Chains A and B, each alone.
Chain A
Amino acid sequence: AQSVTQPDIHITVSEGASLELRCNYSYGATPYLFWYVQSPGQGLQLLLKYFSGDTLVQGIKGFEAEFKRSQSSFNLRKPSVHWSDAAEYFCAVGLGSSNTGKLIFGQGTTLQVKP
């Protein structure tokens, strides 16, 4: 069965430090991969997505993610975290052409930023 795992439920980093949020997926075919961010009580905003091509994907707010097929991973990174990045981050897998929009989400990683 398809699944998405975000191993870290909660991460705390200092402002200005680098960040890496982990995401592993289980899916038999080539996945469509997404990272979303959610502020408390709000909807989800798309940070970036991978469909094909270059495995290093650039997103908004200075985020990037790298698709590694051999490791079934799609980790999110940012070189220097800002206090406004504190939020919950979700990795998701799209199930392909006949299931467009049917995403499977990880449980989320809550990011706390220390001043």
Chain B
Amino acid sequence: DGGITQSPKYLFRKEGQNVTLSCEQNLNHDAMYWYRQDPGQGLRLIYYSQIVNDFQKGDIAEGYSVSREKKESFPLTVTSAQKNPTAFYLCASSKQKTGNTIYFGEGSWLTVV
């Protein structure tokens, strides 16, 4: 089935460690996104990529990094520079066309211990 796969679903990290969240899509979508969700808040955009080998910062990019080496993959690294990394992370994708629907993965929970 086509869709967006995020892994792992749950991840625990010690303070000072980097961690990478995986996002893979088989929808043949051009654009991919990472959003962060905190309790009681809406989603905030971290990074997005409209084509391979190119990406742009969203509203809260500090402490995060991404890569887009393949169309299907858009991993997110949460670095030790991110001061408050505990959150729910959602990957999304869409065709690169105005008004196209954005589809979301099932999310990854990151807890810093």
Contacts and interface: CB of A to CB of B under 8 A. Distances in A.
Given A94-B99, A96-B98, A44 B90 contact: yes
B94 A100 contact: yes
Interface in B1-59: 4, 31, 33, 40-45, 48, 50, 58
A100 B102 CA distance: 9
**Residue from B41, B44, B97, B99 having most chain A Cβ neighbours under 10 A:** B99
A32 B101 CA distance: 10
A51 B101 CA distance: 10
Given A4-B42, A107-B41, A107-B42, A100 B109 contact: no
Contacts of A56: none
Interface string B97-113: 11111111111010000
Interface in A86-108: 90, 92, 94, 96-97, 100-103, 105-108
Query: How many interface residues does chain A have, given as a range?
Result: 20 to 34
B54 to A, nearest CB: 14
Interface string B78-94: 00000000001010101
Contacts of B58: 102
B56 to A, nearest CB: 9
A25 B106 CA distance: 26
B96 interface: yes
B103 A101 contact: no
Given A90-B43, A101-B48, A46 B99 contact: no
A49 B96 CA distance: 17
A9 to B, nearest CB: 8
Interface string A29-49: 000101010000111111001
A57 to B, nearest CB: 13
A92 B43 CA distance: 9
Given A32-B99, A41-B107, A101 B94 contact: yes
Query: Closest 5 interchain pairs by CB?
Result: A105-B42, A43-B104, A97-B98, A44-B104, A51-B99
10 contacts: A42-B107, A44-B43, A44-B90, A44-B104, A46-B103, A92-B42, A96-B98, A100-B50, A101-B50, A105-B42
